[in-house]
Structure 1
Amino acid sequence: MGANAEKKDRCGTVCLKYLLFTFNFLFWLAGGAVMAVGLWTLVKKSDYISLLSSRIYAVSAYILCLAGVIVMVTGVLGCCATFKEKRRLLRVYFVLLMCIFLLEILAGVLAYIYYQQLSDELKSNLKNTMVNKYKQPEQDHVTQAVDKLQQEFKCCGSHNSSDWMESVWVRTSESGKRVVPDSCCKTPMELCGQRDHPSNIYKVEGGCIAKLENFIMDHLKLIGAVGVGVACVQIVGMIFTCCLYRSLKAEPY
């Protein structure tokens, strides 16, 4: 009877080992995906971050990058702990899983909070940023972001093209008698912004605010879903870890 019970326990331990190994492999892939989403936000869309007064959007992306790196390292540690059957390694692995879980939940919560306040922030700050910082000294990052925003989303001005009448840059001789930046033009070329006729520039209802708001809201949904989704999957990993930990004999000290 004792031998049979021990054999069953051993079979259960082996099954748990392979389940946890499979989880760790998938977890490692998920870590790469999480890090990729964070890096894509920071590298490809970093220009738009400079147009936002709040840093929550960027912080959420940084948290995802950090969590992704830790996830990939933890996945390797989890595989080692599983096959070596070391209770101490499993304890470290469980603690790391818990830390990643909290980081990803935090990223998801921050994305949700910022999602709620994004519209008000853009309405109160985007126009001020565009008309007061565009083409101004030491504001090259803002200038590049505005030009990219207007060309990529085919819009002109925060609410509409007439917003540029209040621009500090447009009122100076440096504008070359432009009434809007050249990036507002459907076919950008030098001094094309001198003519603001609808046939020449983008006239979009809601202006760039509506376009940028929709883009960031969609991306915040992605950040939140990735963070919370992977965190929920980790609960399965923590359960497997606890089960394997309990099935292993205590290590002698």
Structure 2
Amino acid sequence: MRKTKQHFSTIVLQMTSQLLWLVGLVVGLSGVYLLLKFRQSSLFFSHTYITIPAYLALASAALLLAIGGLGIWASLRESVWLQAVFFYLLVVVLCLVATAAALAHVNTKTVHSDLAPFRNILQRYTGSIQDPESNAVDATQEELHCCGIYDYHDWLTTRWFNHSGGGGVPHSCCNSSHPVCNGSLDLVSLLYPEGCQMKIEEAMRFVLHIIIWSSLAVALVEAVGFVSVARLMRDKNLSEYHLVDREQD
């Protein structure tokens, strides 16, 4: 009976190790996704600490991939030492993903205030292709299909609008499905109706929620790993204890 239970725990540990690879891949991709999203709009953020969950997610993913391999090795070797290392690394990863999830949750609440520099950058817009900030604004409007901070009215208070004669908004505000659009305010129906800030916030919150939910998935898989490796270590110690008793008898 004891061997049957030990064999079952070994199978569970092997399956858990494979699941650790899977959730590690998801966590790692969520970290990469957050970094890519931040890179596209980094000029609009007042701080870079929103990327901390991404780095924690990448560190967790690397450890999860290593732990998955270690778990399979420990199940095949039936080594208590390897199982103990596996258990310890699970605790380390649990701390990392818990911290990543907590910071991601906090950042979902502060992403709006973190985008405060966006208005200042819009005010400094020049339209020059040699201006990194102007290029970032145009690229964001074209990629996210948006115009201004909340809508095209935000452009009406910019210095660029006054210097350009007040006839229109940048061409990057034009809906790509209307090739005749030139940014003129006489044809506002051809402009993107939504602002960019809300779209950036939605994109960042989406990827932050991915990190939160993937961290919860890691915690659930690790819970199974804790139980399975603990049972293996207990069964191993019990079998060695009975073996010593028999030798003494």
- 1:89-109: per-residue Cα shift (whole Å, max 9, x none)? 111111111111111111110
Q: Please, which of 45, 69, 74 is the counterpart of residue 67 of structure 2?
A: 74
Instruction: Please tell me whether the aligned partners of residues 47 and 144 of structure 1 are also in contact (alpha carbons under 8 angstroms).
Output: no
Partner residue in 1 for 2:222: 234
Point out which structure has higher relative CO (alpha carbons under 8 A, 6+ apart).
2
Q: What amino acid maps onto 1:181 in structure 2? A: P
Q: Please, which of 33, 56, 59 is the counterpart of residue 40 of structure 1?
A: 33
Aligned Cα root-mean-square deviation (Å): 2.9
Partner residue in 1 for 2:96: 103
Alpha-carbon offset, residue 48 of structure 1: 2.4
Q: What are the residue-to-residue correspondences of 1:140-155 with 2, within 5 Å?
A: 140=132, 142-155=133-146
CA distance 1:232–1:133, change in 2 (3 Å): farther
Deviates more, 1:30-39 or 1:147-156: 147-156
CA distance 1:9–1:145, change in 2 (3 Å): farther
Q: What amino acid maps onto 1:185 in structure 2? A: C
Alpha-carbon offset, residue 218 of structure 1: 2.4
TM-score normalised to structure 2 length: 0.81
Distance in structure 2 (CA, Å) of the matches to 1:145 and 1:135: 10
Partner residue in 2 for 1:129: 121
CA distance 1:43–1:153, change in 2 (3 Å): closer
Gaps of 5+ in 1: 1-7
Q: What are the residue-to-residue correspondences of 1:1-253 with 2, within 5 Å?
A: 8-43=1-36, 46-122=39-115, 124-132=116-124, 140=132, 142-167=133-158, 179-187=168-176, 192-193=182-183, 195-196=184-185, 197-204=187-194, 207-249=195-237
CA distance 1:31–1:117, change in 2 (3 Å): same
Q: What amino acid maps onto 2:200 in structure 1? A: L
Identity of aligned residues (%): 26
Distance in structure 2 (CA, Å) of the matches to 1:169 and 1:126: 15
Q: What amino acid maps onto 2:172 in structure 1? A: S
TM-score normalised to structure 1 length: 0.80
Instruction: Please tell me whether the aligned partners of residues 141 and 196 of structure 2 are also in contact (alpha carbons under 8 angstroms).
Output: yes
Deviates more, 1:65-74 or 1:225-234: 225-234
Deviates more, 1:20-29 or 1:40-49: 40-49
